[in-house]
């Protein structure tokens, strides 16, 4: 069995990890994107490694202001500034992934899959409005309703300061909210996973998106989980990407 190579690279100030086997024909390119406050080494590494074992070339990017390029307010806070800055992180990271694909990977891979966890799922949703190169799109414990998600943070300290910031950004957020730009979303297949007990990003956003907008080529599944990715969810994600039953 070929060993998995994990390499660290950087392109145009975008730090990323690659997971792959050497000297094989790859089944495809997959971007796996971490969530809020995490980094490219943490939160998606299990999925990345298992995809690499199944002969995929996997890329994990440090989100904007995260990981190797961490900046305030994600170093010392306060929390309300971190949450208020989250949509900006989503927007710029989606652009970074597309730039990375176009300039580094497009010659080798004509399309790609993308898996995003929590904030990473929002990045995945938004990315689908920027490009027609996505094959399989997998948002996990996430939401496509950006305008609504920014008003979920009602229990944070200094709520008035938070609302003052996000209210100023509302028009900008609505402009690229995927749920308001469904005609711009491009992908071949999408698999949405949410937890029934998730209080961080409630399932109702994904349910409404799936039921009300009649989105094409989409599977939606709920799990008896909170804001976490269980083994069963990982198995279903891997099975969806690989097209075969995967058990961990």
The stretches of the chain forming alpha helices (DSSP H) are 45-53, 79-84, 86-100, 119-127, 146-149, 159-176, 204-212, 231-242
Give backbone dihedrals phi and psi of 39, rounded to 5 degrees, phi first: -155, 180
What six digits make up the tokens of 169?
Answer: 């950004």
Among 34-43, 67-76, 213-222, which is the least confidently predicted range?
213-222
Decide the pairing of beta strands 134-140 and 112-117.
parallel
What six digits make up the tokens of 151?
Answer: 């008003």
Please state, rounded to an integer, the average pLDDT across all residues of the chain: 94
Residue 43 has a pLDDT of 82
What number is the average pLDDT over the span 235-245?
Answer: 96
Torsion (CA) 213, 219, 225, 227 in degrees, nearest 10: -60
214 pLDDT above the threshold of 70 = no
Give backbone dihedrals phi and psi of 51, rounded to 5 degrees, phi first: -70, -40
Residue 154 has a pLDDT of 63
The pLDDT tens digits for 123-143 are 999 999 999 999 999 999 999
Give backbone dihedrals phi and psi of 54, rounded to 5 degrees, phi first: -95, 20
- pTM score: 0.95
The pLDDT tens digits for 152-190 are 766 778 888 999 998 998 988 999 999 999 999 999 999
Third-level CATH fold of 5-242: Rossmann fold (3.40.50)
Percent with pLDDT over 70 in the chain: 97
Query: In whole angstroms, what is the distance from residue 21 CA to residue 1 CA?
Result: 10
Query: In whole angstroms, what is the distance from residue 25 CA to residue 36 CA?
Result: 33
Instruction: Tell the residue number behind the tokens 């409404």, with chain if given.
Output: 208
């Amino acid at each position: 069995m070929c060993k998995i190579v994990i390499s660290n690279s950087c392109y145009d100030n975008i730090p990323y990890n690659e997971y792959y086997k050497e000297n094989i024909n790859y089944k495809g390119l997959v971007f796996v994107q971490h969530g809020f406050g995490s980094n490219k080494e943490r939160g998606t590494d299990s999925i990345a490694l298992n995809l690499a074992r199944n002969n995929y070339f996997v890329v994990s990017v440090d989100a904007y202001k995260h990981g190797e390029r961490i900046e305030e307010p994600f170093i010392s806070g306060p929390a309300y500034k971190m949450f208020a800055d989250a949509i900006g992180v989503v927007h710029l990271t989606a652009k970074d992934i597309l730039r990375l694909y176009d300039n580094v990977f497009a010659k080798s891979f004509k399309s790609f899959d993308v898996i995003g966890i929590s904030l990473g799922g929002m990045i995945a949703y938004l990315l689908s409005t920027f490009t027609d190169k996505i094959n399989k799109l997998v948002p996990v414990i996430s939401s496509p309703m950006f305008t609504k998600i920014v008003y979920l943070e009602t229990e944070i300290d200094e709520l008035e300061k938070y609302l003052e910031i996000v209210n100023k950004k509302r028009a900008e957020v609505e402009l690229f909210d995927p749920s308001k730009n469904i005609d711009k979303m491009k992908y071949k297949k999408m698999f949405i996973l949410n937890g029934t007990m998730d209080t961080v990003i409630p399932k109702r956003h994904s349910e409404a998106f799936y039921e009300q907008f009649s989105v094409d080529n989409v599977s939606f599944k709920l799990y008896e989980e909170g804001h976490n990715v269980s083994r069963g969810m990982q198995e279903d994600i891997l099975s969806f990407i690989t097209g075969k039953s995967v058990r961990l």
